Structure 1
Amino acid sequence: MTETTTPTPLSGLRVLDLATLFAGPLAATMLGDFGAEVIKVEHPAKPDPSRGHGPSKDGVGLWWKLLGRNKRAITLDLSKPGGRDTLLRLAATADVIIENFRPGTLEKWDLGWAELSAANPRLVLARVTAFGQFGPYAHRPGFGTLAEAMSGFAAITGEPDAPPTLPPFGLADSIAGLATAYAVMTALAARDRTGEGQVVDMAIIEPILTALGPQPLWVDHPPPGGRPVTPHPLTWLYVPGDRPPIVAKALAAGADVVVVDLEDAVAPDRKDYARAATAELLSDPQLGVHVRVNALDTPWAADDLRTLAPLPGVSGLRLPKVTSPEEVVAVAEKARDLPLYALLETALGIERAFAIAAAHSSVHGIALGEADLRADLGVREDSGLDWSRSRVIVAARAAGLAPPPQSVHPDIRDLEGLAASCAHGRALGFLGRAAIHPRQLPVIESAFLPTNEEIEEAETIVKAAMREEGAQALPDGRFIDAAVVAAAQRTLALARRT
């Protein structure tokens, strides 16, 4: 009896897999599962990192056993003339090439679409990158972890009071691999009709956005449960409460938080007018601004709280010159569970920073008021406040609060000095900054957003943590543990603002 073999759906199809790690190689693996001949092309000295990624059995990485199945492997240095010529000869016999080099890399080696399609007009070239071949982010590096953060997936995953939570496996890469295989088959179907190949431009972030459906819109329309989808504020724009036209301009300036100031920015003889004007403004529930009330030991403070705390347009109260936890508790009991932010502006407030930060569940943050603190301490040099700054930062973190924003830079014309001061504040541990003019906002945001290098480092740390639990060392010798991983996750969550 002769055994017969039923032809597989993709038998006779040749695929060149030039990609590394997950999304691109997974697409090639799936084509191989249905009978395509897949030739894995690796660099002679730098093979696909998935060979050594994660756990292994009998000396073979399990991820490689998954992604390398149904493939024959060869090595080529595509940056050298010999490797280029060999690939062009292979391309002439192939149906599909899958690659995930950074945009422009194949072109630099004279292996772009122009050269490949000239060698084989029926070729389908699938290009898998973080953000696609075109657009403002095209040349930014990125992996699936960043896509999971920027898409909003991490923000809506986990407990409401916990940090954004990443999946314990390569979710975005896997979805992108599935989408790439589907797009390749679509391009091949088009080739059957036209006789011509084409480029498949696959951005890893796009398929996961599709899978999330309308959920990214929850930034504007919060979901009924789960984590709130709001990025951490970086800019807090203060505006005088007795100048409604200026308040209106501030609301359109693009700050993360607008703070209507009834205290330092308003003269004593205009306090009542400022309160009334602010109350009229904040009857609108769509506004969601913060209000800095007058100091709690002044006669205006009780009127501020009684008038403004019930209004639907108030989303937070900033309490100046707080010196004790009892002051915070007294406000919390009157303020309908509004988020409270205590401003520490005296030596006594600094000494009691942790007790104030932990005084009540309504306390969402603490911060310094540096002008009054400077006067209280008699400090002339800016560096004289660094100990107090560090004390507040540590107290906030010890109480489980977000890192505090830096105090205002008073010279609105000195943008260079503002940038330098922000860099110093960021190094101390501040996150974001108060501003008193819209022109300060882009400088502050730029200073506190993570750089591309910091994003890459954070992705490396998070991916390493996904491979195995507990403390471990990266290939370059750096030691990472749970605290380092948590910091990397915060960096990726912050990066999705961009």
Structure 2
Amino acid sequence: MGPLHGIRVLELGSFIAGPFAGQLLADYGAEVIKVEPPRTGDPMRRWGITKDGESLWWPAIGRNKKSVTVDLRDARGQEVVRDLAASCDVVVENFRPGTMARWGLDYPALRAANPGIVVVHVSGFGQTGPNSGEAGFGSVAEAVGGIRHTTGSPGDTPARTGISLGDSLASLFAVIGTLAALTERGRSGLGQEVDVAIYESVFALMESILADYHAGGVLRTRSGSVLPGVAPSNVYPTADGAQVVIAANADTVFARLAGAMGRPELARDPRYATHQARGARMAELDALISAWTATRKSDDLIEELRRHGVPVGRINTAASILTDPHFAARDMILWRSTGHGADLPMNGVVPKFSRTPGEVERTGPALGADTDAVLTALAGASAERLARLHADGVV
């Protein structure tokens, strides 16, 4: 009984940007019906690291969803989807703009049968504008949105963050837009379209880069592990090979760090006593701190700094997260059985709700596992119609 219990979502599309939005809505209790191509399904079923030919990501990104197979390129399949949409609150799709219209599944067509429907589009460049019709994967949108220019080390090629950041950001904005549109529908009774561009989702996070350049004459670029002019705030080594981030750039916090180091005089030293002075001597200050942290094991170092009130955190890997007691205490590592009986760990539900918590009741379903039940209950399909659709490969 999550907070979105009673909301029905029809998920169209594949890969990450649309389906991750569907996963989040399902985490919060929405009934999410995922439409996939017959026989092949969403490529995410085989994407990334696989075991026995199946993706280890699919159980999570497909969790809590129902799988319905429909050939969207067949007129009969398009009719089925229109019938389903008539009883849904939300449609989430991430096809190239114009595709839904060619299939007779655009907003005007869906609204005709369901005036309250919210149609959420996720695309590389949005539904309008000169680039709207271009193919736009998340990696390209990250470049266009500006974040690739600021990611990596100075002088190096702009770097990827290591995850599909652009797609995931678009999914978050798709969920935000969905919730905002549903809230407004509660007042007006009417649905609307929500247009999420991946490059804009990236650009929305780019802070004040335009004003910095236009008014301040500063073009932000790659700075590696540091924030220019802010120190100490960097990655530091430990005696057991782990790395930690210490953020002690405020004057009072730096004084606490100096105390933890047994060097309280550093906080009074004119070279390090102020924010501006520390920023100007970032390299020498980081070298001084690194020499100290390198003599401590990571667990002991973290405990000592926390005792002194200094913000510190281990640079975690999957291996260390699996044994982290804080992750476990907050249900951020969920062990769930897959369709093959294997238990897999996956990320927990974010955020936490005090009264209507999100749940993961089901991992990614087998392809088409819910086709007949959903089409019978929501699309009014008779046994005879289903038999013909199956025979013709439409579902």
Picking from 172, 179, 184, the partner of 2:173 is 179
Output one character per residue of 1:100-153: Cα deviation in whole Å (capped at 9) or x when no partner: 111111111111111100111111000100000000110011111011111221
User: What is the SS of the residue equivalent to 1:128?
Assistant: strand
Matched with 2:77 is 83
Matched with 1:51 is 45
Matched with 1:201 is 195
Picking from 218, 222, 237, the partner of 2:218 is 222
Work out whether residues 150 and 221 of structure 2, in 8 Å CA contact, stay in contact via their aligned partners in 1: no
* Alignment partners' CA distance in 2, 1:117 and 1:37: 20
Q: Superposition pairs for residues 88-103 of structure 1, below 5 Å?
A: 88-103=82-97
Closer, same or farther: CA 188–175 of 1 in aligned 2, 3 Å: same
Work out whether residues 90 and 118 of structure 2, in 8 Å CA contact, stay in contact via their aligned partners in 1: yes
> How far apart are 1:51 and its partner, in Å?
1.0
Letter in 1 for 2:19: P
Letter in 1 for 2:121: R
> How far apart are 1:46 and its partner, in Å?
4.2
* Alignment partners' CA distance in 2, 1:140 and 1:201: 15
Matched with 1:8 is 2
* Alignment partners' CA distance in 1, 2:196 and 2:185: 18
Matched with 2:164 is 170
Q: Superposition pairs for residues 285-364 of structure 1, below 5 Å?
A: none
> How far apart are 1:219 and its partner, in Å?
5.6
Closer, same or farther: CA 64–217 of 1 in aligned 2, 3 Å: farther
What is the RMSD of the two structures over their aligned residues, measured on CA atoms?
Answer: 1.8
Letter in 2 for 1:66: A
* Alignment partners' CA distance in 2, 1:227 and 1:138: 32
Output one character per residue of 1:16-72: Cα deviation in whole Å (capped at 9) or x when no partner: 110211111111110100111111101114421111110024543122122100111
* Alignment partners' CA distance in 1, 2:11 and 2:43: 14
Letter in 1 for 2:66: R
Matched with 2:186 is 192
TM-score by length of 2: 0.54
Matched with 1:113 is 107
Letter in 2 for 1:60: E
Matched with 1:130 is 124
Work out whether residues 127 and 202 of structure 1, in 8 Å CA contact, stay in contact via their aligned partners in 2: yes
Work out whether residues 209 and 220 of structure 2, in 8 Å CA contact, stay in contact via their aligned partners in 1: no
1:211 paired to 2:205: yes
Unaligned segments of structure 1, at least 5 residues: 1-6, 229-498
* Alignment partners' CA distance in 1, 2:104 and 2:98: 10
Picking from 21, 25, 37, the partner of 2:31 is 37
Q: Superposition pairs for residues 226-305 of structure 1, below 5 Å?
A: 226=222
Letter in 1 for 2:218: P
Matched with 2:12 is 18
Output one character per residue of 1:446-475: Cα deviation in whole Å (capped at 9) or x when no partner: xxxxxxxxxxxxxxxxxxxxxxxxxxxxxx
Work out whether residues 32 and 70 of structure 1, in 8 Å CA contact, stay in contact via their aligned partners in 2: yes
Work out whether residues 161 and 227 of structure 1, in 8 Å CA contact, stay in contact via their aligned partners in 2: no
Letter in 1 for 2:174: T
* Alignment partners' CA distance in 1, 2:199 and 2:103: 26
Work out whether residues 155 and 227 of structure 1, in 8 Å CA contact, stay in contact via their aligned partners in 2: no
Work out whether residues 46 and 53 of structure 2, in 8 Å CA contact, stay in contact via their aligned partners in 1: no
TM-score by length of 1: 0.43
Closer, same or farther: CA 42–95 of 1 in aligned 2, 3 Å: same
1:67 paired to 2:66: no
Picking from 108, 120, 144, the partner of 1:150 is 144
User: What is the SS of the residue equivalent to 1:72?
Assistant: strand
User: What is the SS of the residue equivalent to 2:205?
Assistant: helix
* Alignment partners' CA distance in 1, 2:175 and 2:30: 12
Work out whether residues 48 and 57 of structure 2, in 8 Å CA contact, stay in contact via their aligned partners in 1: yes
* Alignment partners' CA distance in 2, 1:94 and 1:73: 15
Matched with 1:140 is 134
User: What is the SS of the residue equivalent to 1:211?
Assistant: coil
> How far apart are 1:157 and its partner, in Å?
1.5
User: What is the SS of the residue equivalent to 1:66?
Assistant: helix
Output one character per residue of 1:203-231: Cα deviation in whole Å (capped at 9) or x when no partner: 01112111111225556533577459xxx
The answer to which structure, 1 or 2, has the higher relative contact order (CA under 8 A, 6+ apart) is 2
* Alignment partners' CA distance in 1, 2:221 and 2:105: 50
Work out whether residues 149 and 166 of structure 1, in 8 Å CA contact, stay in contact via their aligned partners in 2: no
* Alignment partners' CA distance in 2, 1:85 and 1:8: 31
* Alignment partners' CA distance in 1, 2:221 and 2:40: 46
Bigger proportion of residues as helix = 1
Matched with 2:269 is none
* Alignment partners' CA distance in 2, 1:161 and 1:26: 34
> How far apart are 1:92 and its partner, in Å?
0.9
| Structure ID, larger Rg | 1
Work out whether residues 149 and 222 of structure 2, in 8 Å CA contact, stay in contact via their aligned partners in 1: no
Matched with 2:367 is none
Aligned residue pair count: 222
Ranges of 4+ aligned residues in structure 1 off by more than 6 Å: none
* Alignment partners' CA distance in 1, 2:144 and 2:223: 15
Closer, same or farther: CA 203–116 of 1 in aligned 2, 3 Å: same
* Alignment partners' CA distance in 2, 1:39 and 1:192: 22
Letter in 2 for 1:168: G
